[in-house]
């Protein structure tokens, strides 16, 4: 377990070492997570088109069910890192255990809803009679692993709060390898078909949760922290997570509205839009790694009472975000002849994709600032402001996006609306960062 650090005002070079030490492993862990679905898709795809389509529907539902509770990681990172900065590792781990218990309770509730509702949820996607049984089978079995998935989120937040992003990287790599091996063995070796893929994922997620619990329990015993559920602590974690839940749901609404508008533009446009979303998500992983470093570092500085150090590292991370965005944007432009053929050979889709791709490239420096400041304010425990800011962003984006088809705009116009959304987020986050109201020192906010 990482020891508490005394308040420091390090030079930019020291900031860089801090940021890189946390961001690089965090990026590896972030990239490893979507590989679960990719591995499942590659293995199940050889069973047949109906099975792959069923997996696609079930995976979309599972991803949504889990991603809306990502606050379990974010809020826990902020709370634990503050305690670390204050030099109280026992309280830090105790705070982390409250988050893990909350994850277990939420996971049990989600399973109780998903199991009976699986056929109805699948029908909402308009699945055919051939595809629906496979989707329901995969969804019901995989739902059993949701408590483990949410515990992984919370435990990841604990470890990150303790200034350790390498352990999540190792666990993610091990989980991916185990998932891929089990999928191959159960789908083909045991002949379980798509059910084997689901069981492989459940087992891998449970193994990841077990690995995290081993690390956390070992730390708790070392520092004399209680492992028992504390209702007051669990309730406090839930209250801290509500604003971040609102923020996440608002962001998901933005993405859903954008996809719905793209679908109205035509088949080629929605196909190109999905390619762009895949690229945008990949770029977000790189930028989110800096944000994760921000959550851990800012919480630690504020917990130590070093507000000047927090401001200094915030400025440095913003510089990293801008620089990373410029580099990623340039890579998108340079790699477009290689990137586009990987996804489509349809000239109509390519024509719709190319100008919108340039918009994505141009917007990356803005995205870099947004992701970094988002992480900084999360690390400061400023979730309530983040919730209101994201609701304002949704209110601005929604009419702008809905006007795109009404005014005869195309996919490129829609992605300019997405850029507007990021500009609004950047403005609201910069206003907060410059105000200094997020600089609340102490072991708790």
Can you give the pLDDT of all 445 residues of the chain as single tens digits?
Answer: 444 444 444 456 777 888 888 888 887 777 666 666 667 777 887 788 788 888 878 887 888 888 888 888 888 898 899 999 988 989 999 988 999 999 999 999 999 999 999 999 888 877 778 888 998 999 999 999 999 999 999 999 899 899 888 898 899 889 988 988 998 899 888 889 899 999 999 999 999 999 999 999 999 999 888 889 889 889 988 988 899 999 999 998 998 898 888 888 887 887 788 788 878 888 888 888 888 888 989 999 999 999 998 999 999 999 999 999 999 999 999 988 877 776 667 788 888 888 999 999 999 999 999 999 999 999 999 999 999 999 999 999 999 999 999 888 899 999 999 999 999 999 999 999 999 999 998 877 7
Sign of torsion over alpha carbons 389, 390, 391, 395: positive
Q: According to DSSP H, which parts of 227-344 are helical? A: 231-265, 267-303, 307-343
Task: Report pTM.
Answer: 0.83
Looking at residue 162, what DSSP letter applies?
T
Domain of 428? 240-444
Does 75 reside within a domain? Answer: yes
Same domain, 199 and 271: no
Q: How far apart are the first and last CA of the chain?
A: 23
Rg of the Cα atoms in the chain: 22
Residue that is last in its domain, among 194, 229, 264: 229
Residue that is last in its domain, among 178, 195, 229: 229
Q: Which residues lie below 8 Å from residue 56, measured CB to CB, with a gap of 6+? A: 41
Q: Dihedral through CA 61, CA 67, CA 69, CA 74, nearest 10? A: 170
| CA–CA distance, 236 with 101 (Å, rounded to integer) | 12
Does 324 reside within a domain? Answer: yes
| CA–CA distance, 276 with 272 (Å, rounded to integer) | 6
| CA–CA distance, 225 with 394 (Å, rounded to integer) | 41
Does 289 reside within a domain? Answer: yes
Does 156 reside within a domain? Answer: yes
The two tokens of residue 97 are 């255990």
Residue 341 CB burial class (10 angstroms; 0-12, 13-18, ≥19)? exposed
Residue 2 confidence (pLDDT): 42
Does 109 reside within a domain? Answer: yes
Does 5 reside within a domain? Answer: no
């Amino acid at each position: 377990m990482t020891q508490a650090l005394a308040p420091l005002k390090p030079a930019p070079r020291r900031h860089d070492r801090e940021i890189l030490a946390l961001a690089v492993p965090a990026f590896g862990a972030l990239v490893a997570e979507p590989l679960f679905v990719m591995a499942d898709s590659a293995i199940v795809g050889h069973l047949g088109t109906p099975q792959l389509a069923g997996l696609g529907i079930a995976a979309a539902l599972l991803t949504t069910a889990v991603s809306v509770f990502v606050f379990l990681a974010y809020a826990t990172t902020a709370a634990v890192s503050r305690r670390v900065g204050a030099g109280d590792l026992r309280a830090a781990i105790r705070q982390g255990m409250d988050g893990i218990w909350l994850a277990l309770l939420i996971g049990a509730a989600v399973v109780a809803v998903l199991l009976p509702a699986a056929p109805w949820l699948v029908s909402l996607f308009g699945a055919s009679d051939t595809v629906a049984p496979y989707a329901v089978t995969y969804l019901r079995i995989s739902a059993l692993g949701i408590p483990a998935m949410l515990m992984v989120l919370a435990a990841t937040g604990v470890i990150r709060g303790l200034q350790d992003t390498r352990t999540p990287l190792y666990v993610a790599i091990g989980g991916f390898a185990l998932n891929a091996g089990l999928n191959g063995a159960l789908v083909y070796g045991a002949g379980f078909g798509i059910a084997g893929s689901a069981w492989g994922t459940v087992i891998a997620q449970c193994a990841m949760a077990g690995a995290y619990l081993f690390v956390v329990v070992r730390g708790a015993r070392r520092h004399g922290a209680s492992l028992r559920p504390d209702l007051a602590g669990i309730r406090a974690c839930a209250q801290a997570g509500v604003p971040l839940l609102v923020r996440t749901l608002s962001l998901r609404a933005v993405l859903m509205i954008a996809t719905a508008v793209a679908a109205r533009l035509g088949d080629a446009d929605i196909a190109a839009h999905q390619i762009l979303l895949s690229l945008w998500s990949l770029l977000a992983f790189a930028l989110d790694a800096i944000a994760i470093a921000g959550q851990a570092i800012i919480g630690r500085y504020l917990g130590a009472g070093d507000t000047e150090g927090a401001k200094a590292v915030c400025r440095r991370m913003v510089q990293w975000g801008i620089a990373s965005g410029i580099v990623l944007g340039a890579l998108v432009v340079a790699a477009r002849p290689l990137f586009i053929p990987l996804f489509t050979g349809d000239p109509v889709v390519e024509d719709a994709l190319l100008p919108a791709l340039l918009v994505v490239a141009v917007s990356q420096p803005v995205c870099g600032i947004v992701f970094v400041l988002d992480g900084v304010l999360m690390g400061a425990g400023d979730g309530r402001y983040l919730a209101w800011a994201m609701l304002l962003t949704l209110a601005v984006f929604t009419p702008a996006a809905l006007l795109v088809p009404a005014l005869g705009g195309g996919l490129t116009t829609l992605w300019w609306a997405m850029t507007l959304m990021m500009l609004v987020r950047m403005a609201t986050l910069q206003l907060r960062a410059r105000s200094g109201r997020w600089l609340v020192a102490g072991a708790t906010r």
